[in-house]
């Protein structure tokens, strides 16, 4: 498991990834292209590299690797960590990664900027429970901030600006009768948010698990659940590939999709396994595992949710127009 530094939505992120990666996507260790498709019948595995974010959302793919699901479908995974989709998306678009995970808003922004990407498998979905979701806005006790409307005039930390977190918070503020234009969003990596809140450099943070549970453990108050409160059954993230890979290697896309789908189902049925695998790729303390809220892990992409996120993204200026979301989702993932 490797790490690379988050960068701007540009070539610099791709170069940073390439510098610390190893091997080549869909190829062998010498950089030679792998055979098309993923065929485990002859014992050979197709090497694929997947860009991920170290949060609970991607636990199923780690479980799928651990349980041999991807190997059963002829795939040998390399899992590469980044801070957010702003680094993963250009790497997948350029071919430096085969597949990536990102929130759906990042993919909508990519499409709006002309990057040809396709969602090929579902990721996490909100629990729909405002009191017990895997993402929340948290504040210091007695801060005076008690609702989404109270975020007006406050500094709110999000892991990536102009993306799913601040757009969902903005919509929540608007729904509560506030003016989201008066919220000061500050970009802070998930692992650094608690320290920034403690130091009063921000007034609120939007964290997802395991970081949200860490904040709970330190006595911070949840005041709003943007994923659960704004869009019903919000599909937060998905796995995606470049349009070129979808066109050139449909067998590989099918194998990856099927393996992710089975991994999502396994995670949905085995929440304790989800908690335990977090120790493999996050810094969470083992004593906190039982406190973590596990997302829902659907097997198919929620197109209704994706359409609503697209409308919110357009409303808050993240994209120029609402796309035909059917064009963004591989037909086998719908």
Q: Are residues 187 and 243 in the same domain?
A: no
Q: pLDDT averaged over the chain?
A: 88
Q: Are residues 122 and 7 in the same domain?
A: yes
Q: Are residues 147 and 204 in the same domain?
A: yes
Is the pLDDT at 281 greater than 70, yes or no?
yes
Q: Are residues 243 and 110 in the same domain?
A: yes
Q: Are residues 319 and 265 in the same domain?
A: yes
- H helices of 176-249, in order, are 193-198, 211-217, 226-230, 243-248
Q: What is the mean pLDDT of residues 187-216?
A: 95
Q: Are residues 10 and 122 in the same domain?
A: yes
Q: Are residues 112 and 9 in the same domain?
A: yes
pLDDT at residue 198, as a whole number: 97
Q: Are residues 122 and 11 in the same domain?
A: yes
Domain limit, last residue, from 230, 249, 276: 230
Q: Are residues 178 and 262 in the same domain?
A: no
Number of other residues whose CB lies within 10 A of the CB of residue 31? 9
3-state SS of 36-103?
A: CCCCCCCCCCEEEEEEECCCHHHHHHHHHHHCCHHHHCCEEEEEEECCCHHHHHHHHHHCCCCEEEEE
Q: Are residues 83 and 102 in the same domain?
A: yes
Is the pLDDT at 19 greater than 50, yes or no?
no
Domain limit, last residue, from 210, 230, 250: 230
Q: Residue 87 — pLDDT band, cuts 50, 70, 90?
A: confident
CATH of the domain at 196: 3.40.190.10
Domain limit, last residue, from 230, 255, 270: 230
pLDDT at residue 42, as a whole number: 59
Query: Could you tell me what percent of the chain has a pLDDT over 70?
Result: 87
Burial profile 77-106: b = 16 or more Cβ within 10 angstroms, e = fewer = bbbbbbbbbbbbbbbbbbebbbbbbbbbbb
pLDDT digits over 290-309, tens only? Answer: 999 999 999 999 999 999 99
Q: Are residues 99 and 17 in the same domain?
A: yes
Q: Are residues 181 and 288 in the same domain?
A: no
pLDDT at residue 285, as a whole number: 86
Q: Per the structure, how many domains does the chain have?
A: 2
Is the pLDDT at 28 greater than 80, yes or no?
no
**Residue range of the domain that includes 217:** 135-230
């Amino acid at each position: 498991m490797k790490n690379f530094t988050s960068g701007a939505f540009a070539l610099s992120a791709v170069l940073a990834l390439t510098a610390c990666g190893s091997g080549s996507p869909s190829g062998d260790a010498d950089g030679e292209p792998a055979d098309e498709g993923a065929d485990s019948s002859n014992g050979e595995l197709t090497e694929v590299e997947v860009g991920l974010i170290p949060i609970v959302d991607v636990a199923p793919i780690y479980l799928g690797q651990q349980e041999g699901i991807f190997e059963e479908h002829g795939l040998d995974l390399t899992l590469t960590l980044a801070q957010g989709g702003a680094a993963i998306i250009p790497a997948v678009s350029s071919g430096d990664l085969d597949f990536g995970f990102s929130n759906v808003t990042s993919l909508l922004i990519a499409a709006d900027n002309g990057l040809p990407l396709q969602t090929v498998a579902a990721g996490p979905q909100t629990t729909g429970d405002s009191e017990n979701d895997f993402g929340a806005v948290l504040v210091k006790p007695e801060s005076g901030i008690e609702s989404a409307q109270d975020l007006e005039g406050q500094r709110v930390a999000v892991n990536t600006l102009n993306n799913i977190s601040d757009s969902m918070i903005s919509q929540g503020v608007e729904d509560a009768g506030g003016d989201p234009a008066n919220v000061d969003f500050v970009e802070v990596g998930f692992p650094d948010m608690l320290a920034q809140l403690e130091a009063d450099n921000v007034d609120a943070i939007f964290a997802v698990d395991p970081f949200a549970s860490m904040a709970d453990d330190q006595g911070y108050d949840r005041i709003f659940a943007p994923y659960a409160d704004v869009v019903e059954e919000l599909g937060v993230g998905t796995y995606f590939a470049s349009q070129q890979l979808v066109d050139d290697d449909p067998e590989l896309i099918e194998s990856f999709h099927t393996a992710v789908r089975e991994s999502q189902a396994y995670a949905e049925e085995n929440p304790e396994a989800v908690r335990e695998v977090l120790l493999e790729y996050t810094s969470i303390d083992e004593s906190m595992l039982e406190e973590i809220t596990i997302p829902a892990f659907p097997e198919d992409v929620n197109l209704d949710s994706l359409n609503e996120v697209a409308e919110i993204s357009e409303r808050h200026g993240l994209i120029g127009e609402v796309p035909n979301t059917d064009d963004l989702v591989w037909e086998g993932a719908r």
